[in-house]
Amino acid sequence: MKTKRTRTKQVRRKRLQPIGLDSSNGASYIGVSEAMMRKMRSDGSGPPYKKIGRKVIYLRKDLQRWLENQ
């Protein structure tokens, strides 16, 4: 007796880019060091950021806009 094999449908998932980036990834995105990102955040010259608890988050659209205005 043969068993019937069923084919499972393979789903290709598009890898989504995160909307929010932490300090390390945000710094890499704009091409500066994490220390420079902290300095710009403290003196107000850097890109806008959000705080969630103790974590600093940079929105990708804000980083892109900040880069375009530099």
| Residue range 48-62, pLDDT digits in tens | 999 989 999 999 999
Query: Cβ atoms within 10 A of the Cβ of 6, count?
Result: 6
Residue 28 lies in a domain: yes
Return the higher-pLDDT residue of 11 and 69: 69
20 and 30 Cβ atoms separated by less than 8 Å: no
- The upper half-sphere exposure of residue 28, i.e. CA atoms within 13 Å in the direction of its Cβ, equals 4
Residue 9 lies in a domain: no
Report phi then psi at 55, rounded to 5.
Answer: -90, 135
Q: Dig out the tokens for 35 from the structure.
A: 């220390």
Task: Quote the pTM value.
Answer: 0.71
Enclosing domain of residue 28: 20-68
Four-residue CA torsion sign, 58, 63, 64, 69: positive
In total, how many domains does the chain have?
1
Residue 7 lies in a domain: no
pLDDT for res 21 = 93
pLDDT in tens, 17-39: 768 899 999 999 999 999 999 99
Residue 58 lies in a domain: yes
